[in-house]
Structure 1
Amino acid sequence: MSAARAVPPALDREVRTRSAARFAHPALLLAGIVLVALNMRACLAAVSPMVAEIQRTFGLSATASGLITTVPVLFQGVGAPLTPRLTRRFGTERVVLGAVLALGAGVLLRVLPSVAALYAGCVVIGVAIAVLNVSMPGLVKREFPHKAAMMTGVYSTTMLVGATMAAALSVPLERALGGGWRASLGAWSVLALVAAVAWLPQVLRARQERTAPVRVAGPVAPPKPVGSPWRSALAWQISVFMGVSSLLVYTLVAWMPTILADHGMPRGEAGLVFAFSNLVQVVGAFLVPLLAGRMTRQRGLALAMAGLNGAGVLWLLLAPVSGAWFSAAVLGLAQGGSLGLGLAFIVLRTDSVPGAARLGGMSQAVGYLVAAAGPVGAGALHQLTGGWDVTLVVLLALAAVAAVAGWGAGRDRTV
């Protein structure tokens, strides 16, 4: 038997190029982004309706139960600065795949019959989400350079849809699967697996593109060095805007139904008001990045989001029951819009993919560490004062801080 004939270089290059092209279809990329984004909030929102059952299962105190939702937020802040280094070493596609698989593993770890496993799963989930939070803006900027703001709206909206879906389905899943809270929460690992399978073509495409030789027609300018965003005033303004906006979201996610119930609203109605607010967030998360992408400066948009946050909190302070539905609508629009605008700032205020990754790492590290203090601080103020008025006044002041930071972040400059 004669030895196999060597493949001509030109034919080998054509085969690799065609192989990469098979996985480069925009529909495959869009499906992958949407399915990954669905996972980025679902496993956090799914646990909220189950906290009381988890507490009873392990005999946890109220403080220890609160850590089930606080630990992932904290570790989103801790994990965010590590992501740019990972993407430089392994490539964005492989890092996203690894983060989605880690997310699914964290979901399964969280439902094992051990308190240590419960909190370890929360840590893994937080770090995995941090990696995805930082990777996605740079990937969107690279793959959709002329539609980055629009695609930011698509995936930020999808994140909120995933959260709403998870919160709504957790209890029905518990009943349908018949395995208690563990079966309900563990089921979300299937969504992570589906997202990993949908993302695999992007990993294969990136691998083919790395092995394919590249012909250069002329001299290539050296890549522009990317400086540290930690020394940039603009980067700090973006980070503060994201941090304070996230603090407002997480604080009201933790306490808004309780605030309404403490003022006399039936708990069932308070839950409906809260669900309505989450639904309206989807509208803000989709529309605001679209508007941001059509503007050279987003100062007015940032002020509008901060102003709506302040108006919603003020109405909650002045008319907590009679104005609850109005507050929910205003806060939902402001919170979803602030999330979308913060993510849009990452792609609009940078001029390179590595720059977007570094700014994303910084802004989300600062943002989630600040946000993690919100629910705990609000609970402490409530316990200290015996009411919610002081807490809501502090949130009003923080909305003003977000307005100042957003005014700076909305300038037509790059980090």
Structure 2
Amino acid sequence: MSVTQAQPAVATTVRTRTKLAHPALLLFGIVLVALNMRASLAAISPLLGEIQRTFGLSATASGLITTVPVLFQGLGAPLTPRLTRRFGAEKVVLGAVLTLGAGILLRVLPNSFALYAGCVVIGIAIAVLNVSMPGLVKREFPGRAAAMTGVYSTSMLIGATLAAAVSVPLEKVFGGGWEGSLGAWSLLALVAALAWLPQVLRSRQERAAVAAAPAGRPIEGIWRNGLAWQVSAFMGISSLMVYTLIAWLPTILVDHGMARGEAGLVFAFSNLVQVAGAFLVPLIAGRMTRQRGLAVSMAALNATGVVILLLAPVSGAWVSATVLGLAQGGSLGLALAFLVLRTDSALGAAQLGGMSQAVGYLVAAAGPVGAGALHQLTGGWELPLALLLVMAAMAAAAGWGAGRNRVLR
């Protein structure tokens, strides 16, 4: 195990591609796959109250609808590098997208067991995509890894924004049923799978060349490495804040007197603003030798947005949504950028991604259910939001360490 000062990444292989694997098709496939990676989670938040009433769920049980996918993102992440080594990243991504579509359909079957089983399947599928994509981007775009991270993290949030914005209108389109609204997102997964097929249908000769290309040495003793833990902690705490508010922001606003439709619009707007943060922050990070100040800035913006939500939940909702959107999108983009900036190979990026997302999403899973339980216990949202301020301070400390100019080897 070692940590060395970062050096510019150098491409070690050049591959001749078939027309089916043209870089434009690869980019198109990455974007469509990424659109699915948050949509199925964001779509459920505006409909959570309806789902809760349908099955007679408590606030804690409702929080599990968001928590279970996040938990299984953490549990599934360490398995992904083995899958990619055995089957190849392209096949693994295709399988994960199809599994995601199946999980979405399972989640809308008319019983609570299927609801939670679908959440498990969705979580595992997203875990595989979360870990596969950084290594794939590092391998295919070695000289522009940070910029491409911005592209796919932005696509993730565009999918989430679209899902949050149209979930309630789709419910009306399908005759007032939340099942049709949620189930419709399986079509997006199918479209992404079709768009990804060109990457799977490469010639055997090209796949053999890719498999033979050097992917770099594994990072030794990664689970004992302080920098790896700092990257993991930054991702985990930032994700906890994101998923907590994905689960409960519309409910918080409605509980303070905002109309359900407007609360959905505020939530969708916050997701829209995240797109800007997710795109710009990785670009900025890629031009910096150290990202310490950037990480602390994201944590500070997160804290500011939560304070506004505490002090003026309705009158300050749009301002809070703006600040939180920039902070959460930027934190996501920066956490993903750390995976390529703190490693020097596709193998290293996948390895760090497996660790950081295993740790990160297990931490994040506590957010939605914990906030729901605290709300049920206290009858208000003040304590859950105050704890998010503590989380923001912890994210700043982790980001200060993760932003050092060092590379895991």
Aligned residue for 1:110? 107
- Match of 1:227, SS state, is coil
CA distance in 1, matches of 2:210, 2:384: 60
Q: SS of 1:387's equivalent? A: coil
**Given the alignment of the two structures, is residue 237 of structure 1 paired with residue 234 of structure 2, yes or no?**
no
Q: CA deviation at 1:258?
A: 3.5
Q: What is the aligned partner in structure 2 of residue 276 from structure 1?
A: 269
Deviates more, 1:273-282 or 1:74-83: 273-282
Partner of 1:165: 162
Residue type at the aligned position of 1:367: G
Is 1:377 matched with 2:370?
Answer: yes
Name stretches of at least 5 consecutive residues in structure 2 with no aligned partner: 1-13
* Cα distance in 1, alignment partners of residues 314 and 99 from structure 2: 42
The reply on whether 1:301 has 2:294 as its aligned counterpart is yes
Specify which of 105, 120, 125 is matched with residue 123 of structure 1.
120
Does 1:410 pair with 2:393? no
- Cα deviation, 1:210-266, whole Å, max 9, x if unaligned, reads 346999xxxx99953432421110010011111111111122222333434444445
Matched with 1:48 is 45
Q: Distance in 2 between matches of 1:175 and 1:132?
A: 31
* Alignment check: 8 A CA contact 1:238 1:405 kept: yes
The alpha-carbon distance between structure 1 residues 294 and 206, as it changes in their structure 2 partners (threshold 3 A), is: farther
Cα distance, 1:18–1:156 mapped onto 2, change above 3 Å? closer
User: How many angstroms does 1:278 deviate by?
Assistant: 1.6
Q: Equivalents in 2 of 1:261, 1:225: separation in Å?
A: 49
Pair 1:66-2:58 in alignment: no
Query: Relative to 1, partners in 2 of residues 1:181 and 1:206: Cα closer, same or farther, differing over 3 Å?
Result: farther
CA distance in 2, matches of 1:148, 1:230: 24
Please, which moves more after superposition, 167-176 or 289-298? 167-176
d(CA) in 2 for partners of 1:156 and 1:117?
Answer: 29
Which residue of structure 2 lines up, in the alignment, with residue 152 of structure 1?
A: 149
Asked if 1 retains the 8 angstrom alpha-carbon contact of 2:45 and 2:248, the reply is no
Q: 3-state DSSP class of the match of 2:217?
A: coil
What TM-score, normalized by structure 1, do the two folds share? 0.88
Q: Deviations over 1:307-331 (max 9, x none)?
A: 1111222222333343332222111
Instruction: Indicate conservation of the 8 Å contact 2:25/2:198, yes or no.
Output: yes
Q: What does 1:265-414 correspond to in 2, within 5 Å?
A: 265-414=258-407
Partner of 1:138: 135
Comparing 323-332 with 113-122, greater Cα deviation is found at: 113-122
Q: Contact (CA 8 Å) 1:20, 1:208: kept in 2 or not?
A: no
Distance in 2, matches of 1:340 and 1:397, equals 21
Aligned residue number for residue 186 of structure 1: 183
Q: State whether residues 19 and 208 of structure 1, in contact with CA within 8 Å, keep that contact through their aligned partners in structure 2.
A: no
Aligned to 1:100: 97
Distance 2:161 2:275 in 1: 9
Amino acid at match of 2:45: S
Q: CA deviation at 1:109?
A: 1.8
C-alpha displacement of 1:412: 0.9
Rounded to whole Å, the distance in 1 between the matches of 2:214 and 2:158 is 42
- 1:269 positional shift: 3.8
Residue of structure 1 equivalent to 2:195: 198
Evaluate the alpha carbon distance shift between residue 110 and residue 158 of structure 1 in structure 2; reply closer, same or farther with a 3 A threshold.
Answer: same
Q: TM-score, normalised by structure 2?
A: 0.89
RMSD of aligned residue pairs (Cα, Å): 2.5
Matched length? 395
Pick the aligned partner of 1:26 from 20, 23, 37.
23
Secondary structure of the corresponding residue to residue 414 of structure 1: strand
Structure-2 change in CA distance of 1:212 and 1:312 (3 Å):
closer
Distance 2:300 2:270 in 1: 17
Cα shift at 1:189: 1.4
Q: CA deviation at 1:74?
A: 0.9
Higher relative CO (Cα under 8 Å, sequence separation at least 6) belongs to 2
CA radius of gyration, larger in: 1
**Which sits farther off after the overlay, 335-344 or 186-195?**
186-195
Q: Distance in 2 between matches of 1:165 and 1:75?
A: 24
Moved more, 111-120 or 226-235: 111-120
Does the residue aligned with 2:202 lie in a helix, a strand or coil?
Answer: helix
Percent sequence identity over aligned pairs: 78
Which moved further from structure 2: 287-296 or 170-179?
170-179
2:87 aligns with 90
Counterpart residue type for residue 318 of structure 2 = W
Q: Is the 8 A contact 2:40 2:163 kept in 1?
A: yes
* Superposition deviation, residue 354 in structure 1: 1.1
